[in-house]
Amino acid sequence: MPDREDITDLRLLRFDALAVLTLEKGLPELIHIVHLLPYGKENQIEVISSNFYSLRLNFKEFINNLEAEMNRARAIDVNDPREKAILISVSTAPKYILEEHMEELEELAKSADVLVIDKIIQRVKQINPKYLLGEGKLRELIINAMDMGATLLVFDQNLTPSQIRAITDMTELKVIDRSQLILDIFAKRAQTRDGKVQVELAQLRYMLPRLTGKGTAMSRLAGGIGGRGPGETKLEIDRRRIKERIHHLENELEKLTLARLERKKRRKELSIPIVSIIGYTNAGKSTLLNALTKSNVFVEDKMFATLDTSSRRLKFPEEKELIITDTVGFIRDLPEDLVAAFKATLEELEDASLLIHLIDISNPQFENHIDSVNKILKELELDTKPVILVFNKIDKIPFFEVKQICSRYNAIGISAKDRNTLIPLIDEIKNRLWQEVTCNAPL
């Protein structure tokens, strides 16, 4: 009979079936055929035992029928070209924090056009330095993932190069972490040359330490989620070539930065004040820019729908005007390589006379989002800039809650989709800029 090790190999290696022969005097007597059952069945395997010589089984037809039954049990469309992912969060943090982070990871996955088929939250007393969670738990998780038809495992925690290698050695599934998922979204959404250069630079810096002794760990990421941008050929080149590419991109980024500085210099010469809209991703920054300036910057209800900085002029009846810029959305624990690459883009904020910190008031985690944005501003040494706190999407929660929250934060409440609600914000922008001009005017 098949033993426990045979069953483990059957499940991990995804054999169609496994047969064990029983010999009698050197000749086959019994045959035991073991195969997996569709996901969700009470018994995970089935064993067919028969006399070797009387076995009558159309193996091809049997396996085809079994595969069809398994596909029906998975409740997902096997023809769907999207990656099928299981999201995993393993941490010592309280459960409510893990649940909040999992919700955000799911939003990120949707932004990357990934089909989420399951979510696993594992609260542990101690992080396993090799596998993040225990080897037995990880093996069980991988088996269930394959049973459900998953093609991708996404970890909320950032994995070290050694952890990625250890986990991928155990499975044929692709394995990525939160940072790589964000990088993939950025690669998909970047439109301008500036944005594309910054994303590729961030990806190569992220991948460089993971290429050492990679084996199959990185080769599985060629194409699809986690493999956009540099692409398959760049993943296979050696460290020296990658370093050369990084050096080339850094030089190109420097040239693009100089071009931006020239544009900023011309704006300064015209003495046009700059107001920058900042905020957590998907807070509605591009929608607000469109509403204020009657523009048509691309908007979508997804995280990081727009990456490239957009600038538009806003004219006032008093023959005054200003430039409003829409920056890339902020997010907690932004990958370091991405912060470094996008620092050039966020340099636009240095010349801003005023920052509009836009917050999605309908998001239950808006307080954490405010803290994340403030933390990034501090890292960029921009926390001394004058800021107007603006709560967006006030149409999504009761009015008395809006009034209470705005009062607590000394903020303005708006709905970027309703231009009538923007009047207090426009008045506040004019008052702040007028005060700035008065303060800086010569005596």
Tell whether 284 is in a known binding site: yes
Query: Per residue in 230-247, pLDDT tens?
Result: 555 444 556 778 888 888
Task: Using the predicted structure, report yes or no on whether residue 341 has a pLDDT greater than 70.
Answer: no
CB 335 within 8 A of CB 367: no
Q: What one-letter code names the amino acid at 41? A: K
Q: What is the pLDDT of residues 308-339, one digit of tens each?
A: 567 788 887 766 788 888 877 788 877 777 77
Alpha helices in 270-335 (DSSP H): 285-293
Whether residue 308 is annotated as binding a ligand: the answer is yes
416 is in an annotated binding site: yes
Q: Which range among 26-35, 90-99, 273-282, 346-355 shows the weakest confidence by mean pLDDT?
A: 346-355
Q: How far apart are CA 426 and CA 430, in angstroms?
A: 6
Q: Is 192 annotated as a binding residue?
A: no
Question: Is the distance from CB of 88 to CB of 156 less than 8 angstroms?
Answer: yes
For the ranges 52-61, 244-253, 297-306, 409-418, the maximum mean pLDDT occurs at 409-418
Where is 245: in which H helix or E strand?
A: helix 239-269
> Has 417 been labeled as part of a binding site?
yes
150 is in an annotated binding site: no
CA-to-CA distance for 83 and 77, rounded, in angstroms?
A: 11
Mean pLDDT over each residue of the chain, to the nearest integer: 80
| Digit-coded pLDDT (tens) for 131-167 | 888 888 888 888 888 878 888 999 999 888 889 888 9
Contacts 24+ apart (CB under 8 A), 26-32: 28/52, 28/53, 31/55, 32/1, 32/2
Structure confidence at residue 102 (pLDDT)? 93
Question: pLDDT tens digits for 52-108?
Answer: 888 888 888 888 887 777 766 665 666 778 889 999 999 998 988 899 899 999 989
What confidence score (pLDDT) does residue 90 get?
92
Query: Beta strands 84-91 and 115-123: pairing type?
Result: parallel
Contact in structure between 322 and 397 (CB atoms under 8 Å): no
- 279 labelled binding-site residue: yes
Q: Is the pLDDT of residue 10 over 50?
A: yes
Longest CA span, the chain = 111
Is there a binding annotation on residue 307?
yes
Question: Please, which residues bridge with residue 287 across strands?
Answer: none
Is residue 305 part of an annotated ligand binding site?
yes
The rounded distance, in Å, linking the Cα atoms of 82 and 214 is: 26
Spatial contact of 169 and 142, defined as CB atoms under 8 Å apart: no
Region 219-231 average pLDDT: 55
Residue 42 above 70 pLDDT? no
DSSP 172-233: SSEEEEHHHHHHHHHHHH--SHHHHHHHHHHHHHHHGGG-TT-TTTTGGGSSSTT-TTTHHH
326 is an annotated ligand-binding site residue: yes
CA distances from 429 to 235, 412, 437 (A): 48, 11, 12
Predicted confidence band of residue 116 (pLDDT cuts 50, 70, 90)? very high
Q: Could you give phi then psi for residue 393, rounded to 5 degrees?
A: 65, 40
Q: How crowded is residue 379: how many other Cβ atoms within 10 Å of its Cβ?
A: 13
Nearest Cα residue to 211 out of 269, 164, 151, 273: 164
- Taking each helix axis as running N to C, give the angle between helix 178-189 and helix 193-207, from 0 to 180 degrees, rounded to the nearest 10: 160
- Is residue 227 annotated as involved in ligand binding? no
Q: How many whole angstroms separate alpha carbon 395 and alpha carbon 377?
A: 28
Q: Is 282 annotated as a binding residue?
A: yes
pLDDT band at 366 (very low <50, low <70, confident <90, very high): very high
Lowest mean pLDDT among 69-73, 256-260, 303-307: 303-307
Query: 259 or 403, which is more confident?
Result: 403
Which amino acid, 23? Answer: L
Reported as a pLDDT band with limits 50, 70 and 90, residue 26 is confident
User: What is the share, in percent, of the chain residues with pLDDT greater than 70?
Assistant: 80
User: In the prediction, which pLDDT does 20 show?
Assistant: 84
Q: What is the pLDDT confidence band of residue 348, given thresholds at 50, 70 and 90?
A: low
Read off the tokens for 49: 């035992």
Is 327 annotated as ligand-binding? yes
222 is in an annotated binding site: no
Mean pLDDT over 204-222 rounds to 61
Confidence of residue 438 (pLDDT cuts 50, 70, 90): very low
Q: How far is CA 231 from the centre of its chain?
A: 18
Residue with tokens 């807070």: 283
Q: Is 70 exceeded by the pLDDT of residue 387?
A: yes
